[in-house]
């Protein structure tokens, strides 16, 4: 793989990672993951076309995308700065995104704890505390 191909793949991977984070945040806010149809309709109102195939390869990191209008529309949809999507400079996740991700992690850990308690049956308090401690440490990492 050439250097240019590696850079394009790195950009595609970064965009996919950030889109998946934003989908998680939107899911935490609304209770359901936004569909391609909802995102495409939002963009269409702004004069931007987002085909299902393009969305799929963007969110899965299959190809680099260089479309400022798509980035602007997605940034508006997810309420983030365009630079977060494009990977420009060293932009980190917005505070809102980080706070929502912490909530998502906590909710997932709570579901795992509940599932473990139901599935594993009678566990000693010490074992349950060890499971809780492990999950809590995973959340903060």
pLDDT in tens, 106-137: 666 666 667 666 666 666 778 777 877 776 66
Which is more confidently placed, 128 or 4?
A: 4
**Distance (Å, rounded) from C-alpha 139 to C-alpha 141?**
6
C-alpha to C-alpha distances, 100 to 24, 33, 46, 107, 115, nearest whole angstrom: 8, 14, 27, 10, 22
Q: What is the pLDDT of residue 105?
A: 66
Task: Count other C-beta atoms under 10 Å from residue 55's C-beta.
Answer: 19
Residue ranges of E strands in the chain: none
Confidence of residue 89 (pLDDT cuts 50, 70, 90): very low
Overall average pLDDT of the 8-31 stretch:
86
| pTM, to two decimals | 0.67
C-alpha to C-alpha distances, 19 to 1, 74, 81, 98, 119, nearest whole angstrom: 25, 9, 13, 14, 33
**Distance (Å, rounded) from C-alpha 56 to C-alpha 84?**
19
pLDDT in tens, 36-81: 999 999 999 999 999 999 999 999 999 988 899 999 999 999 988 8
**DSSP 8-state code for residue 33:** P
């Amino acid at each position: 793989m050439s250097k240019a191909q590696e850079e394009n793949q790195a950009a595609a991977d970064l965009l996919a990672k950030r889109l998946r984070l934003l989908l998680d945040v939107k899911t935490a806010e609304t209770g359901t993951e936004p569909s391609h149809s909802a995102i495409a309709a939002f963009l269409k109102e702004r004069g931007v076309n987002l085909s299902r195939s393009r969305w799929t390869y963007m969110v899965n990191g299959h190809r680099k995308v260089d479309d400022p209008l798509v980035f602007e529309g997605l940034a508006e949809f997810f309420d983030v700065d365009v630079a977060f999507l494009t990977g420009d400079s060293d932009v980190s996740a917005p505070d809102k995104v980080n706070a929502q991700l912490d909530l998502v992690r906590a909710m997932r850990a709570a579901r795992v704890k509940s599932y473990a308690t139901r599935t594993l049956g009678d566990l000693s308090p010490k074992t349950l505390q060890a499971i809780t401690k492990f999950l809590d440490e995973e959340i903060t990492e």
